[in-house]
Amino acid sequence: MLRTLLALALAAAPAVTVARAAGELRFTLRSDPKTFNPLLVEEEPSETIRYLTGGVLIRLNRYTQELEGELASKWKVSENGRRIDFELRRNLQFSDGTPFTCEDVAFTVRQLMDPALHSPTGDAFRSAPGEVETKCTGPASAMARFPGPVAALAAQFDQVAVLSAHSAHKEAAVLGPFVVADYKPGSYVLLRRNPNYWKRDANGRQLPYLDSIRLEIQQNRELELLRFRRGELDIVNRLDPEMYDRLSKDLPHSVVDAGPSLDMELVFFNQVSSAPLPDYKRRWFRSTEFRRAISEAIHRDDLVRIVYRGHARPAVGPVSAANHFWLNAALKPPVYEPSGTLARLQRDGFHRAGDSLVDRDGHKVEFSMISNAGNKLHERMLALIQQDLAKLGIQLNVVTLDFPSLIERISRSFNYESVLMALTNVGLDPNDQMNIWLSSAANHQWNPNQKAPETPWEAEIDKLMQAQTASQDANKRKGYFDKVQQIVSEQAPMIFLVNPDALSAVSANLKNVTPALLHPQIFWNAERLSVGTGLVSQK
């Protein structure tokens, strides 16, 4: 209600002229960045700043999903994924004029792997105990040898912004298209163009085209939308379907549905041996037939149509359709068919008794599903799932909890029955999902930290995931991971529901926009974006 009043008050406020510099792009961050050190980034606002300011050796092109050389013109991975050699571009400078050399690469890799720094970016490179070896191998070449094989080693460097070994400005000296010029906590971060940025366009003009980017710190989505409508912002990232539809009615040319994202909504049951559950419920949750029946009883098309207003796709498995290479295209989403579902449950000893479904021992099938409170999309999904399951005689008790309580239940006390949650994927490579699929992993959510795989299919997944991570042959790796996806589809330890679309809004003022499926969908090519020239005064 307060939000509504604020929005109405703002809408009713007299028009104020907002002047901004020519060539300035504006959008919002949800919160203050926690760090400007690119090696310590672990949340989205800091990641946005790293993406816009950091120069990397290798960049994953968000549009083509191919790796491209940036500061490194060439690279070669060898020794079974332990070693990488870079050939560097010459005559480049950091934003403060310090020359870029191979020593900067070696310095960055050492910092990345320094145990004292605890770099979250470095975690992906720590596949085995030991120290990294890194050095210059020539005037414009460098190498790094890691203690163990690193899966998709070259792709991991997309997250590593090179630091200067010699600049007095430390991490403030950057090689990316923009440099942090000003920061007012709680208000904005101002980025200005890097005068020494090395890239040029086809006509030889130095990039970036933009003079500056103003990142307003704004948590309230309604206000963000209102400011976009007033022309004060150029981009709105991660629109929810309701906002998207509202905006598309008034400004149909400003909304962008880039298609399914890497994110997914899923349900899983508690299969932890020590969980405080009655034995008969543990038996249900450990039954493949039961899990598959629940999966088939959920009408995914309705979730897409009603909850996501058509801006999502029924999920096939742990890989989104957005991930072109790694998706097992042979798999299809489960077909909604209540009669077939009931037959599957009957094969597992369940039967109808009046309006209820009961198991072979006469226990009425009733369980709870928890989710995070305050998430409207989840609340609506839960209501739809509740009615879908009621058609089979299953009573679903919906419980929404604050996020810390939810995490406490699914990660520590294991005092839950089933959960609906979102999984945000940032990487394309299967190695980014190792912590989910290995039975020994802490994020193997339905039954984590197993000393030895408790089921044959989990043992098989362990084997396949380890085989794919050890291989350097992309096609072989895909074969292994296709098999993992097939096992997951057959065993349904996680019931994948939908992949929401990547929805954004972009001002008509912004040029050269090529929306991509991967984050950051709109400004992935920030150096080539431009806005209208001249002083813009808006009411």
Taking the complex as a whole, the smallest distance from the CB of residue 246 to another protein amounts, in Å, to: 5
Spatial CA neighbour of 104 closest among 145, 134, 77? 134
Among 130, 138, 340, 374, binds another protein (CB under 8 A): 374
Taking the complex as a whole, the smallest distance from the CB of residue 359 to another protein amounts, in Å, to: 16
Taking the complex as a whole, the smallest distance from the CB of residue 368 to another protein amounts, in Å, to: 4
Interface with another protein includes 337 (CB under 8 A)?
no
Spatial distance between the Cα atoms of 532 and 526, rounded to a whole number of angstroms: 15
Q: What DSSP string describes 375-432?
A: -HHHHHHHHHHHHHHHTTT-EEEEEEE-HHHHHHIIIII---SEEEEEE-----SGGG
Strands (E), 79-177: 83-88, 133-138, 141-145
Residue (1 or 13) nearer to another protein, CB:
1
Phi, psi angles (nearest 5°) of residue 473: -90, 115
Spatial distance between the Cα atoms of 429 and 318, rounded to a whole number of angstroms: 12
Interface with another protein includes 380 (CB under 8 A)?
yes
Among 165, 306, 441, 487, binds another protein (CB under 8 A): 306
Spatial distance between the Cα atoms of 33 and 43, rounded to a whole number of angstroms: 8
Q: Binders of another protein: how many residues, by CB under 8 A? A: 34
- 89 to 128, contacts with another protein by CB under 8 A? none
Residue (133 or 408) nearer to another protein, CB:
408
Residue (417 or 462) nearer to another protein, CB:
417
Q: How would you write 445-505 as a 3-class SS string?
A: CCCCCCCCCCCHHHHHHHHHHHHHHHCCCHHHHHHHHHHHHHHHHHHCCEEEEEEEEEEEE
Residue (41 or 233) nearer to another protein, CB:
233
Among 273, 387, 449, 514, binds another protein (CB under 8 A): 387
Q: Specify whether the CB–CB gap between 211 and 531 falls below 8 A.
A: no
Please give the radius of gyration of the chain, using alpha carbons only, rounded to the nearest integer.
25
- 402 to 461, contacts with another protein by CB under 8 A? 402, 405, 408, 415-417
Among 96, 216, 289, 302, binds another protein (CB under 8 A): 302
- 205 to 244, contacts with another protein by CB under 8 A? 242
Instruction: Print the binding letters for residues 353-372 with another protein: x by CB under 8 A, - otherwise.
Output: -------------xxx-x--
Residue (380 or 483) nearer to another protein, CB:
380
Helix (H, G, I), strand (E, B) or coil at 240: coil
Spatial CA neighbour of 357 closest among 336, 372, 343, 377? 343
Question: Rule CB under 8 A: which residues touch another protein?
Answer: 1, 3-4, 7-8, 242, 246, 302, 305-306, 366-368, 370, 373-374, 379-380, 382-384, 386-387, 397-402, 405, 408, 415-417
